[in-house]
Structure 1
Amino acid sequence: MADRRGRCASMDGRIERASSVSDRDSWLPPSGPAVGSLPSSWAQPEPENIGQPGGPGFVPPPPSGWTPPPKPGLLPLRPLGFGTLLGAPFQAIRRNPAPTFGSGLLVQLAVGLITVAVLVPYFIWLTERMARAAAADIDTIALGGIGTMLLLMLVPLAISVAGTALLQGIMVVEVASATLGERLRLGALWKRGVKRLGRLIGWVLLASLAVLIPALIVVAITIAISLISPVAIVIAVLVAGLLALGLVVLFAWLGTKLSLTPSAIVLEDLTIRAAMKRSWQLTNGHFWRIFGVLILVNAIVNIAAQLVSAPFQLIGPIVMSVMDPTGTGSGLAVYIGIMVVGLALTMVVSAVGTVALSALVAIIYIDQRMRTEGLDIELQRYLEVPVEQRAGLPDPYRRA
């Protein structure tokens, strides 16, 4: 009996252990994929347009800001602001200094050397002749010498007119090509600028005579009134002042309205009359803006020239008086050297100023066409064509 109870207890223990093992195994995960992964039959294919516009995960970009117009070269292809107009002429010189500044310096040197070569020998000859002449003949010789010298002045004056016209044509071509990103050498620049030289010379002569003739008329009227009586001299001075003031206002108005004539002659191949009409049309409604830019750049150039030349004009006499207080002429060489250095620096500044003013006129012309005719759009279309395919395209500055 005791043996049967022992066997029953042993069997109950095995059943209990088997039951505990069965309960423990029921809590174990089934064999297969690792925890945290899905069976292959449950996997879904990823969409091909994930992260793309319209697909899952697409995040729209932030709104873009204003994109400035392209600037392939000297000028941005948009209507220019006042500050850009002031700085662009000097930027044109800095961008391509050899042809631009070199052209201005060559013109200045040519005018200066021809003036010296024509007038200095004649002045020396006239001085020697007056020294050998009798006292009764000195006044006659001096009067004839002054008349001859005035005639000789026509030679450097003609060279100056031609040089100014050539420089205007050169700078118009330079600004137009630099706006398109081109950089021309001196020879190519002169070759293009000389094509319209005849009409440019005619324009410079016409503008010079338009200033000279009224000024001579005012002088003649003043002299005629002053010869009536001593009291009339005061009246003559007042009349001359009023007429001069009126001429200044008239010249400022006409000069601004016709300032774009050289650019129209060069870039649109117009006659002088048609170019004057074109300039008048382009400046309508923008007179004060153009006038302000022209006045400011002229003032900058003139002030710079005065700042360069004034110290030498002051230092020269002081050095002369210190080195040669008794007037024996021992300091003359130093004085001449100072004056030569001052003249050279003044010539350099004048060359920069002349080039900058010529470039300014071309820049204003392009700006006015971008404002009134959409030239910036035409230039952008032209620049979209590859360089090697532009040979057959029409000139973007030429109107159809």
Structure 2
Amino acid sequence: MIPLRPLGLGEILDGAVTTMRTHWRSVLSVTAVVAVIVQLATVIFQRYSMNRLMTDPGSITGPGEMLDVMGGSLAVSAVSIFIQVIGGVLATALLTMIFSRAVLGQPSTVAGAWRDARPQFLRLAGLTLLLTLASAALLLVLMLPGILASSTGLALLGGVAGLALLAWLWVRFSLASAALMLEKATIPKALARSAKLVSGAWWRIFGISMLTALIVGIVSMIIAVPFSAMAVIFGGGFDDIVAGNTPDSWPYLIIMALGGVIAMAVTMPMQSGVTVLLYIDQRIRREALDLELARAAGVQDYGTPGAAAPHPGAGG
């Protein structure tokens, strides 16, 4: 699916899309199942918990009730994010294996991907939890002086500094999941491997990751907007919004969930694919991984003087 040499931006994006298209059965099976589970859990939670956690804004009479509203909103967001993170861990584990085999031109099945991913699944979950909690703790620590001093400006300054630092750390450890899954590494080793591979290429990886996020965001929005409109018009959401309430009827939530399933099924493979290909690209650039890939793919005499360069599609 990729040429066995350092990859350009277009080759990384094209490799991810080509793999999705060629191995669509395995990819779609993984993403569709994960998306349905995530959206189903989210819908059930929102339907039965929204009324208890959310308060009508018109009934707020003091700071105490405002804090209750903010706490309820944070609780809803936190649970929704947690559900998505768990689903993302499962999808990442399976898709990483599918994409890694696709690089060698080898077919994949969901059962085979799970068999390869299962030994590392708990470690991947631990890595994801560690990065999530560390990010939240770092942001809180930098904002805490402003919060304790009741200074909005100082808190905002700490928040901006925290976001900048998180962006740097996010890129630095962006390849940790691929290293953990494909090298069967421990969490500390995966973090160290990612930092080593990203060193000297931070801006390049940042740019490719941001472009991927932009593409994924646009695709998600294109899919979500029609479903949001249908949910408002046909799902009873319009009446709730006019009344100042948060829509939580079954028709509204189901229509929104259908849009979410389609968006997740389409965008998750793109993100995972780019991460895997960035990892492989950095190893090709630093460790001549292309030689190992060529041997694994059965490319004869690759890398020997006078040997013909493999076709970009050779060996995958």
TM over 0.5: yes
2:259 to 340, 345, 359: 345
SS class of match (2:149): helix
Larger Rg: 1
- TM (norm. structure 1) is 0.61
Alignment of 1:374 onto 2:288: yes
1:337–1:260 distance in 2 versus 1, CA, 3 Å: same
C-alpha distance after superposition, 1:294-347 (max 9, x if no partner): 0000011112212222344456656799x99xx99xxx9xx9757744541233
Paired position in structure 1 for 2:162: 247
Deviation at 1:374, TM superposition (A): 0.9
2:10 to 80, 83, 101: 83
1:282 is aligned to 197
Q: Does 1:300 align with 2:211?
A: no
Query: Does the 8 Å CA contact 1:283/1:368 hold for their aligned counterparts?
Result: yes
Structure 1 residues 157 and 291 mapped into 2: Cα distance closer, same or farther (>3 Å)?
Answer: closer
| Aligned match of 1:15 | none
How far does residue 291 in structure 1 lie from its aligned partner after superposition? 0.8
Q: Deviations over 1:275-308 (max 9, x none)?
A: 1111111112211111110000001111221222
- CA gap of 1:341–1:119, structure 2 versus 1, over 3 A, is closer
Distance 1:96 1:364 in 2: 19
- Answer yes or no: is the 8 Å Cα contact 2:42–2:83 preserved in 1: no
Question: Matches of 1:104 and 1:157 in 2, distance apart?
Answer: 17
Aligned equivalents of 1:225 and 1:173: distance in 2? 49
Paired residues of 1:89 and 1:363 also in contact (CA < 8 A): yes
Contact kept in structure 2, 1:85 and 1:360, CA below 8 Å: yes
CA distance in 2, matches of 1:320, 1:379: 51
1:107 match: 34
Consecutive unaligned residues in structure 2, runs of 5 or more? 56-63, 301-316
Which amino acid in the other structure matches residue 384 of structure 1?
G
After superposition, give the CA deviation of every residue in 1:358-397 in whole Å (9 maximum; x if it has no partner): 12111111111111111111221233389xxxxxxxxxxx
One-letter identity of the residue aligned with 1:224: L
Shift of 1:239: 1.8
One-letter amino acid matched to 2:91: L
In structure 1, the residue matched to 2:59 is none
Query: Normalising by the residue count of structure 2, what TM-score does the alignment of the two structures yield?
Result: 0.76
Gap change, CA 1:223 and 1:314, over 3 Å in 2:
farther
Deviation of the 1:155 alpha carbon: 6.7
Per-residue CA deviation, residues 116-157 of structure 1 (Å, 9 max, x unaligned), is 334533556x59xx9xxxxxxxx99x969x77x94x987765
Counterpart Cα distance in 2 of 1:286 and 1:254: 13
Q: Structure 1 pair 123/156, CA: closer, same or farther in 2 (3 Å)?
A: closer
Give the alignment partner of residue 140 of structure 2, picking from 207, 216, 219.
Answer: 216
Partner of 2:119: 195
Inter-CA distance 224–354: structure 2 relative to 1 (3 Å threshold) = same
Conservation of the 8 A alpha-carbon contact between 1:171 and 1:358: yes
Match of 2:108 among 184, 187, 201: 184
Alpha-carbon distance in structure 2 between the residues aligned to 1:317 and 1:110: 23
Higher-helix-fraction structure: 2
In the alignment, is residue 258 of structure 1 matched against residue 173 of structure 2? yes
How much has 1:219 moved relative to structure 2? 5.4
Tell me how far apart the structure 2 counterparts of residues 250 and 266 of structure 1 sit (CA, whole Å): 26
Q: How far apart are 1:210 and its partner, in Å?
A: 1.6
Give ranges in structure 1 of 5+ residues lacking alignment: 1-73, 131-138, 227-235, 387-400
How large is the RMSD of aligned CA atoms in angstroms? 3.5
Instruction: Specify which of 15, 20, 24 is matched with residue 93 of structure 1.
Output: 20
Specify which structure has the bigger relative contact order, considering alpha-carbon pairs within 8 angstroms and separated by 6 or more residues.
Answer: 2
Q: Residue 355 of structure 1: CA displacement? A: 2.2
Per-residue CA distance 1:185-206 (angstroms, 9 max, x = gap)? 1211122122200110010001
Which whole-Å deviations, capped at 9, do the CAs of 1:175-230 have from their partners, x for residues lacking one? 1111111111121112212220011001000111122123334555444333xxxx
